[in-house]
Each structure stands twice: as C-alpha cells, then as structure tokens.
Amino acid sequence: MAARPEGRHFLRLYVAGATTRSRQALRRVYQLCEAELKDKYDLDVIDVYQQPEMARDNQIVATPTLVKEFPLPARRFIGNLANITRLFGELELVTKVETAL
C-alpha cells in the first residue's frame, strides 16, 4: 500500500447501478464529506454492475456499502446511509471533541 497523507480520509462507496437508492447514498456521502471532512478526503464510487471484480475482491455482498480505508483501521458501513451521525460514529470519523458532546 502506498503511503497515505496524514489527515486525509480515503473512502470507497459501492453502489448497484444508477438506482434511486444508489443516488441517495452518493448524495448522503457527499454531504457527509463536505460537511465534516471538507477537502480532506478522496471518494471512489464503485458500481458493482460495472466492476464486479472489485466487489468480489473486496467481499462486498450488499449495497450501498461505504468503506473507510484510511486512516486505519478500515471500517465498513452497509445499508441505509440516512443517519449521518450514526454513519460517522460507525466509521470512526467523529473527532474526540465531537464524541464528548
């Protein structure tokens, strides 16, 4: 794995086609990233229909799935991405100060 810049988040969103659910997941992830991570993130969007080998290699069994690959430890959030607060907590993207509140 190549060296990753400190303070930068690398996320991967797996979706299944251009469905309403996929578009909603993408919109929510962009909202999350823009609100909380500002310009300190990279987001790859993988359509499992277009790149099934990526889904297979990364053991993606359901969509949408959001994977925080860096900083470590890697975390996955599978399913409904509607609850942004829960999503941030699950992916450990909340800062210690926010967690204490």
Query: Which domains are assigned to the chain?
Result: 9-100 (3.40.30.10)
Nearest by Cα to 77 from 28, 39, 20, 35 = 28
Mean per-residue pLDDT pooled into runs of 10, the chain (101 residues): 68 93 90 85 95 94 92 85 69 49 36
Cα of 44 vs its chain's centroid, Å: 9
| pTM of the predicted model over 0.85 | no
Per residue in 62-80, pLDDT (tens digit) is: 999 999 999 888 888 888 7
Dist. CA 62–CA 83, nearest whole Å: 18
Reduced to 3 states (helix: H, G, I; strand: E, B; else coil), residue 17 is coil
